[in-house]
Amino acid sequence: MSGVAQVIIAIQGVYKAFGAQEVHKGVELQIYRGEVMTILGGSGSGKSVLLKEVVGLVKPDSGSILLFGEDIVPLDEKGLFQVRQKVGVVFQSAALFDSLSVFENVAYPLTEVRGRSSVEVRPRVLERLRWVGLGGAEGKFPSELSGGMQKRVGLARAMVLDPEVILFDEPTTGLDPSNVRNINELILRLNQEQGTTAVVVTHDIASAEAVSHRWALLKEGRVESVGSPDELKRSTNPYVRRFIEGRLSEEGGES
C-alpha cells in the first residue's frame, strides 16, 4: 500500500437477519485500495454472508455497501453483473460446474460472460491454472479432483478476469501445508505485482499474518476491532485477545 489510502469498499451500517437470527447488526468496515484485509470471527459470525453482500448475492436488510464509490445494495441483476466483472470471488465451497471440465470452469467468465474467442482465452486459462499449481489438470472434471484441487480451480476462475478486487472465503482450508504456502504467496503476489485488493476470510491465523495488512474481527454482528495484525495482537480488548490467543494455540484449527 502506498500513497493516500483510497477506500475501495465501504460497508456502512449493514443489518441482515435470516428469520429471527440477526447475523449483521450494524457492520462498519472500510477496505482500502491495494490492501489485503483479513476478516476473522467465530464460525457462524457472518463472514461468508458479508462477502456475499459485497458482491450482491445477499441483500442486506438495511445499510449500504459502496464498491468503487457506488452503493450496490439497490442494484438489479444487470447492475450487479457490471460489479461482478471487477470483483472476483472464491467461495468457501468450490462452487464449480460439475458438467464442465477444469478448463471450461476457469474459462467460463471469459467465454460465457465476456464472449471472448478461444484463441485469446486458452493461454490465459492455462496460465491461471499454473499459478494455482494445477498445470496439466485442464482436461479433468471436478468429480475427478480432491477438495483442495477443486478449491484451487475456483481460485483460478476468480483470477481469470484480472479483477481489481478478489474476495477469498477460506482459500487455504483443507489444503496441505505446501499448497497453503502456495496460495498465500499467490495472494501476496497478486497484491504486490498487480495491486489487487484482497479480502480474505480465514480461520488460519498463520495465513492471516502471512498475507494481510489489516485484520477485522467480527463479533455478534459487528466489527469488534480492526487494525494491523500487531495492533490486534497487542489489543487490550479481552475478546480480541482471547480470540487471537485461542487461534494461535490451536494453530488455525476450527473454532
Ligand X SMILES: Nc1ncnc2c1ncn2[C@@H]1O[C@H](COP(=O)(O)OP(=O)(O)OP(=O)(O)O)[C@@H](O)[C@H]1O
What residue ranges bind ligand X (CB under 6 A)?
Answer: 18, 21, 23, 41, 43-49, 92
Nearer to ligand X, 41 or 142 (CB): 41
Q: Which does 41 bind (CB under 5 to 8 A by kind): Mg ion, ligand X, none?
A: ligand X
Query: Closest-CB residue for Mg ion?
Result: 48
Told to check if 45 binds Mg ion by CB under 5 A, we report: no
Beta strand 165-169 with 197-201 is: parallel
Contact (CB, 8 A) for 9 and 54 = yes
Nearer to ligand X, 12 or 92 (CB): 92
Considering only 38, 45, 48, 212, the residue that binds Mg ion (CB under 5 A) is 48
Radius of gyration over every alpha carbon of the chain, rounded to an integer in angstroms: 18
Rounded to a whole number of angstroms, the minimum distance from the CB of residue 18 to ligand X is 3
Q: Which does 44 bind (CB under 5 to 8 A by kind): ligand X, Mg ion, none?
A: ligand X
Nearest one of 95, 103, 110 to 141, comparing CA atoms: 103
Contact (CB, 8 A) for 15 and 61 = yes
Q: Is the dihedral of CA 47, 52, 58, 63 positive or negative?
A: positive
Which residues in the 50-109 window bind Mg ion by CB under 5 A?
92
Contact (CB, 8 A) for 191 and 38 = no
